Amino acid sequence: MAAPERIVIENAAIATVDAHDTEYATGHLVIAGHRIESVGAGPAPEGLEHVVRRIDATGHLVTPGLINTHHHYYQWITRGLATDHNLFDWLVALYPTWARIDEPMVYAAAQGSLAMMARGGVTTAMDHHYVYPRGSGDLSGAIIRAAREMGVRFTLARGSMDRGETDGGLPPDFAVETLEGALTATEQTVKEHHDASSDAMTQVAVAPCSPFSVTTELMREGAALARRLGVRLHTHGSETVEEEKFCHELFGMGPTDYFESTGWLGEDVWMAHCIHMNDSDIAAFARTRTGVAHCPSSNARIAAGIARVPDLLAAGVPVGLGVDGTASNESGELHTELRNALLVNRLGPHREKALTTRQALRLGTYGGAQVLGRAADTGSLEPGKLADLVLWKLDTLAHASIADPVAALVLGAPAPVTASFVNGRQIVADGRLLTADEDAIAQATRTEAHRLANITTQG
C-alpha cells in the first residue's frame, strides 16, 4: 500500500477544540492522506516523507472546519421576502411560493447555499429538505449532487410533511406527501445515499418537518424507520410560543412531552431551535442526550426568542450551530453565527457570563459534530481525525490588532478563509471556491429565483 501524501502547515496559531481546549500560539499540523497525522507546538517533525506541499501559515488561525447543523437550501431563491413576519405568518406567506419548486430550482439553490457556506469555512454541511411538491423531480438527488460537486461533507435530513391545510396544517395540500409516500421515499433515499462509514462524505437522516406540518403517525413511524435503518433523526422543536400553544391545543401537552411520547428523544436525535424550553424540558434533553441546533440569526429574524443555550450546555445537552433557511437568515453563512450566538445569549439572563469566545467556537465545531453523530472523527484537530480544517487570515486591518486569535475570529469582522480542507482536499483558496464557479452559480440562482417568482405570480 502506497504511503499517503502529506501536507504540512506551520507557523500558525492553532485552536484544536479538543477535550482540553488545547491551543498553540505557534504550531504545526500535518495532513496525511485524508486524516490528521500530527498537531502540536512549533515546527513539524523532521524527516517527513512524501510531503507534497508546505504551507507557511504565519498570521493565521487554524481551527476545525465549521459544522452546520440546520439549514433549508431551497430557500436561497426566496431570500428577502416576508422580512417583518413572525414564524407562522412567515410560513403562511412563503409556503405558496415554496410549493412551486422543482428540481432545477432546488439544485441551483443548493449550489448557492453550499457555495456561501464552503467559502466561509464550513466543511460539514446539512440540509433539512421537506418540501416535495408532486411532479417536482428528484429533489433529494439534486441536493446530494450539489454537495458532492462542492466537495463538502454532507448530511441530507430527508424531511416530509403530511399535514396540509385541510388537516389543520400550514402548507398547501399539494405540497405535502401521504404518510405512506413520505415513509417509502425516505427509506429509498437512505438506502440509495447513506454511507455509514466513519469517513463518509454523504449521510442521510429521517426528518419529518415539525409538529404543525406532520401527523403523529408520521412522527412515530418516522422514528421507527430511522432506528430500523440505523440513521439519525431530525426535526424542528420548541421554536415559538405559537408552536407551544398549537401542541397544547392539538395534543394536550407541550412540544417536549409530545416528542417523548412519539419516540423523538434520544442520543440519535437533534432538533432545531429549542427556544421555548422550561427546566423540565432541558432535563429531558439532558437525560436522553437529545441534541440541539442553535440558530441565533434566524431566531432573531423571525422574532422567535432567545434559546437558553447556557442552561442547555450546563445540563450537558449537545449543542451545535445552524444557519437555518436563507429566507430567515439571508447571509447564509455559519461563521457569523459564532459571533451572533455569543452576543444574543449575552442579552439573556446570564448576561456577560452566558458564553465565552471559546464556547462559541466549540458550538460551531465540536458541538456540531456531536449533534450530527460524527464527533469521533470530526469537530476537533487531533491525530487520527479527518482532515477537515480551516486557515483563517487574521493579520489584515480587520484583525491584526486583536492579540487573541480566537477572540479575533469570533468577535471581529468575518475573517477571510485562506484555505479550507475537507477530507484532506483543499476546496477554498484565498476566499474563492476551487470546486465550483461562483459567478455561474450566482447567475443560476438569479435565473431560478426569477422563474419561481414568475410561476408563483401566474398561479
How do residues 267-289 score in pLDDT, each as one tens digit?
999 999 999 999 999 999 999 99
Question: Is residue 139 helix, strand or coil?
Answer: helix
Give the count of beta carbons closer than 10 Å to the beta carbon of residue 442: 14
Query: Does pLDDT of 1 surpass 70?
Result: no
Q: Which amino acid is at 58?
A: T
Residue 390 has pLDDT above 80, yes or no: yes
Residue 168 has pLDDT above 90, yes or no: no
Tell me what the mean pLDDT of segment 388-411 comes to. 98
How far is the first Cα of the chain from the last one, in angstroms, to the nearest whole number? 60
The answer to whether residues 120 and 409 touch, using CB atoms and an 8 Å cutoff, is: no
Q: State the CB neighbour count (10 A cutoff) for residue 450.
A: 11
**Interatomic CA distance for residues 163 and 211, integer angstroms:** 9
Distance from C-alpha of 310 to C-alpha of 288, rounded to nearest angstrom = 18
Question: Quick one: 402 exposed, middle or buried, by C-beta within 10 A (0-12, 13-18, 19+)?
Answer: middle
Is it the case that residue 81 has pLDDT exceeding 80?
Answer: yes
Mean pLDDT of the chain: 96
Separation of alpha carbons 88 and 91, rounded Å: 5
Q: Which of these ranges, 95-99, 138-142, 222-226, 371-375, has the smallest mean pLDDT?
A: 95-99
292 beta partners: 271, 319
CATH code assigned to 66-371: 3.20.20.140
Q: Kindly report which listed range (10-19, 81-90, 270-279, 342-351) carries the lowest average pLDDT score.
A: 81-90
**Per-residue confidence (pLDDT) for residue 288, from 0 to 100:** 98
The residue ranges of every structural domain in the chain are: 6-64+383-433, 66-371
Report the relative pairing of strands 269-273 and 233-237 from DSSP bridges. parallel
Of 65, 58, 13, the C-alpha closest to 39 is 13
Q: What are the cell numbers at 65?
A: 472546519
Please name the CATH architecture into which domain 6-64+383-433 falls: Roll (2.30)
pLDDT at 459: 64
What's the CA gap between 400 and 393, in Å, rounded?
9
- SS3 of 138, please? coil
Residue pointed to by grid coordinates 504551507: 55
Task: Please give the pLDDT value at position 3.
Answer: 79
Reported pTM: 0.97
Confidence band of 212 (pLDDT split at 50, 70, 90): confident
Residues 162-166 have a mean pLDDT of 87
Domains 6-64+383-433 and 66-371 fall in the same CATH topology? no
Residues 4-24: what's their mean pLDDT?
Answer: 98
